[in-house]
Amino acid sequence: MEKIAIAIDGPASSGKSTVAKLLAKDFQFIYVDTGAMYRAVTYLAIQHQVAFDQEEELVELIKNYPISFKQTVDGQLVFVNDQNVTEEIRQTDVTAAVSEVSAHREVREQLVRIQQELAKQGGIVMDGRDIGTTVLPDAEVKIFLVASVDERAQRRYKENLEKGRESDLETIKEAIAQRDYLDSHREVSPLVQAIDAVKIDTTGMTIKQVVAKIQQVIQEKGYEIS
- Kindly list the residues in this chain that would bind ligand DC in the complex (CB under 6 A): 12, 34-35, 38-39, 98-99, 102, 128-130, 179, 183
How many Å from the N-terminal Cα to the C-terminal Cα in the chain? 6
- Smallest separation (angstroms) from ligand DC to the CB of 157: 15
Q: What angle do CA 185, 182, 53 make, to 5 degrees?
A: 105
Nearer to ligand DC, 102 or 110 (CB): 102
- Smallest separation (angstroms) from ligand DC to the CB of 107: 9
Nearer to ligand DC, 130 or 151 (CB): 130
- Smallest separation (angstroms) from ligand DC to the CB of 88: 13
The CA–CA distances, whole Å, from 128 to 81, 101, 108, 136, 213 equal 22, 15, 12, 11, 19
- Smallest separation (angstroms) from ligand DC to the CB of 219: 26
* Sheet of strand 141-146, all strands in order from the earlier edge strand to the far edge: 30-33, 124-128, 5-9, 141-146, 198-201
- Smallest separation (angstroms) from ligand DC to the CB of 116: 12
Nearer to ligand DC, 86 or 102 (CB): 102
Name the residue among 196, 197, 167 with its Cα closest to residue 95. 167
Nearer to ligand DC, 39 or 155 (CB): 39
Nearer to ligand DC, 169 or 223 (CB): 169
Q: What is the dihedral of CA 7, 11, 14, 16, to 10 degrees?
A: 20
For residue 79, the cross-strand partners are 68, 84
